[in-house]
Chains A and B, each alone.
Chain A
Amino acid sequence: MKKIVVSSVTLFWLLGLAPGGAGAFQEEGTLRIGGMWALSGPAAYIGSSSKGLSALAVDEINEAGGVMVQGKRVKIVQSVYDDACKAEEGLTVVRRLADSDKVLFSLGPTCSSVAEPVFGILQKRLGDATDTGLQFLFFTDTAIKFGLAKISPWAFRNVGNEPAMFDLAFKLVKEKYPELKTVAVAYESDFAHSVSTWKGATEPAVKKYGYEVLDVVEWRFEDTEFGAQAAKLRKTNADILVMMTHTFTTCGAVKEFKRQRVKAKLMVGITSAASTETLVGCGQAVEGLIIPTNFAAISPKAKALADKAWAKYKADSNLHSVPAYENVHAIRGIVEKVGIKNEPATLLEDRRKVRDALAGLGTFQGVLGPIKMNGDDDPVKPRDVDKAIILVQAKGGQWTVFWQPPELEKK
């Protein structure tokens, strides 16, 4: 038995620690890309969807013949790793993608708390040999905490602009429900995205539109008991419940709210909760919940994508996962345009070319419409995008459109 245990452990180590095949690249007709997401733990439902949507984009490109590099069509090969939403694991995964797997760029990470150190070890001063930070390109789809792309010029993001999203959400709620005056707030005190969204996006919007904050309660990302917080919120009798909490705790909390008869006239949720997971996990308890997002299946193209992703990978199409799909397609276009060499020896040069092209990309096509990438010189949101904001509402077990911009309505 001891021998079996020792042999199994050794086998796992060898399997798991072995580097990717170094002989691939142009001569073997492949282009390597990477992805690191939370594929285990409470945030796994977010990471798994991003993984599925990126795989779908890779399939589409490969089925269409691949990417044109140096006059030859090459297939995309994607290396994907689980960072478990843990910073330390992210630090080893990024080195693995950059050094062992030698990918051109990576999607992910899921969690902002992982993006912080992972972007932190990237090079800060482009082209400066004395800066030994990692020269590795990220085109993030999920980590949404405001300002993360400012950390390094190698970090780009196609994520929502939460201050603008919540500003719009409360503006529209104010217009539609002028009789609602007070709010009570819940957020996850240990989760970077939750804290930063409340402090940096929602609280300013709530104050701007003149709502009175009656109470703010908090719990942890992995909590399962919400009795005390529900009791506090019930006493406030607030008109609006602002739930800056992710699906896992939101579902537990709203069920407890129902049990304790916490009666708010409206609920506003965090961007990440605009997923099928929330509808399935929370059921009737989230009926009426309004969330600002960047994706909803409101056009035939978006609906077809959502259906295909679900059918093929059981992946939910939402504001975090659809950008993974968009980013892969955008990078394909850039690679074909800038003419990389796709050789192990030119990897750093290729990454730099793609990085520079991404910084100067301007507008590219997303699933719902055009997306504008801000350049390095943007004073507020360098290397972040501006894109359409939609408000969705949970009704009858599905997400319905509460509001969409006029240009999307025409489609």
Chain B
Amino acid sequence: MDYYVAVLSIMGVHILLGLSVYLVAITGQLSFGQQGFYAIGAYVAGVCTALWGTHLVPALLLGMTAAGLIGFLVGFPTLRVKGLYLGIATFGFGEIVRLAFLNIKYTKMVGGKLVGPNGAEGFRHVSYIYDRGFTQVQYLAVIYAAVIVVAGLVHLLERSKLGAKFRAVEEDEMAAAMAGINVTAVKVMAFTSGGFVAGLGGALFVHYSTYVDHDMVALPLAVASVTYPMLGGLGSFWGPILGAAFLIFLTEGLRFLQEFRLVIYGALIILTMIFRPRGIIDEAVMMRIRSLVRRKGAPSPAA
């Protein structure tokens, strides 16, 4: 049971990471820097509970707020670049954050242990949930409460006028601007909200793992986070959720193959992308699901 809870917990934080990429992607921007926000959330929330002794909830809120504010600031300079150039710029941001945490040292003795971000040594002893007697299942509930709230908000966004503006900017920036949409505001809003969500994911993760270091938020995490919405589909917020679930279960399911699993893992992703180039849940699938739901919800002609 604990094992499955562990897999679901890791999946939960990766879903948040996938949703953060998705929020930026539905405005037509591709970010390879969401792991930077994830790192900020992890370090800030970890400092709150491990060094300052704050409660978990304010720590999570502070972690996500710090990441969201940085997201707001990052949103402006990235307005000047698009496509691949934006991808490189955002990856550059992620690397800046990673290298900053490689060098930041802010430690103090807590209960006879040296606690806090300690440069390349990492940030150890973020043991709030275990010290406070949280069971694995209880913390899983915390993670999925966050996932449900975030997914619900993204769902509401997609059905709102603001969501339509996001999609309009994705479809054609110029046309959206001519229709009176403030493209700058939409893009910055996407980065800010993406920052909030990734920061929340990082804050939840560090309390689960008790440890974070600069290497855990490097390029492989950036690639994984972008893969979730790409593989799952950009048609709905279900896409990154499905993508994260698919890849995390694949990682676990193929573990018995040891060194050969990366070959199979890669091949399965390639096959999926060949047969579903816009992801598993693309716009066409979403339209079909919506029409199905509408048909079921409509009164029958005989009635």
Residues in A lying within 8 Å of B, measured CB to CB: 1-2, 5, 8-9, 12-17, 19, 39-40, 44, 81-82, 86-89, 91-93, 95-96, 98-100, 113, 116-117, 120-121, 123-124, 130-134, 151, 189-192, 195-196, 199
In the bound complex, residues from chain B placing their C-beta under 8 Å from that of A151 are: 124-125
Nearest to B260 among chain A residues (CB) is A40
Are A95 and B5 touching (Cβ within 8 A)? yes
Please name the 9 residue pairs, one residue from A and one from B, whose CB atoms are nearest each other, closest first.
A120-B210, A16-B253, A99-B2, A95-B6, A13-B253, A195-B120, A117-B211, A117-B209, A133-B130
- Residues A192 and B213 in contact in the complex (CB < 8 Å), given A5-B271, A40-B258: yes
What's the tally of chain B residues with a CB closer than 8 Å to chain A?
51
Docked Cα-Cα span, A1 to B275, in Å, equals: 9
Distance between B265 CB and nearest chain A CB, rounded to angstroms: 10
| Interface assignment of B255: CB less than 8 Å from any CB of chain A | yes
Cα distance, A99 to B5, chains bound together (Å): 11
In the bound assembly, the distance between CA atoms of A16 and B135 in angstroms comes to 25
Say whether chain A's binding surface is mostly helix, strand, loop, or mixed.
Answer: helix
Question: What chain B residues lie within 8 Å of A130 (beta carbons)?
Answer: 133
Q: Are A120 and B2 in contact (CB under 8 A)?
A: no
Whether the pair B250, A9 counts as a contact (CB closer than 8 A) is yes
Q: Mark B133-161, 1 if CB is under 8 A from A, else 0.
A: 11110000000000000000000000000
Residues of A within 8 A of B125 (CB): 120, 151
Using Cβ atoms and an 8 Å threshold, which residues of chain B touch A2? 275
Known contacts: A92-B3, A191-B215. The answer to whether A82 contacts B253 by CB under 8 A is no
Contact yes or no, A40 B268, CB < 8 A:
no
How far, in angstroms, from A5 to B10 measured CA to CA in the complex?
Answer: 25
**Beta-carbon nearest neighbor of A39 in chain B:** B258
A44 to B259, CA, bound (A): 8
B122 on the A face (CB < 8 A) = yes
User: How far, in angstroms, from A49 to B6 measured CA to CA in the complex?
Assistant: 28
Specify which chain B residues have a CB less than 8 angstroms from the CB of A1 in the assembled complex: 275
Answer yes or no: B251 CB below 8 A from chain A CBs.
yes
A15 pairs with B261, CB closer than 8 A: no
A189 surroundings in chain B (CB, below 8 A): 102, 120
Whether B209 pairs with A121 at a CB distance below 8 angstroms is: yes
Cα–Cα distance between A89 and B210 once the two chains are bound (Å): 14
A93: min CB distance to chain B, Å: 7
- Contact in complex: A132, B268 (CB < 8 Å): no
A12-B250, A88-B209 known; A124-B258 Cβ under 8 A = no
Find out whether the CB atom of A12 lies under 8 angstroms from the CB atom of B253. Answer: yes
Tell me which residues across on chain A come within 8 A of B256, comparing CB atoms. Answer: 15-16, 81
User: Are B213 and A19 closer than 8 Å at their CB atoms?
Assistant: no
Residues of A within 8 A of B121 (CB): 192, 195-196, 199
CB-CB under 8 A from B213, the residues of chain A are 113, 116, 192
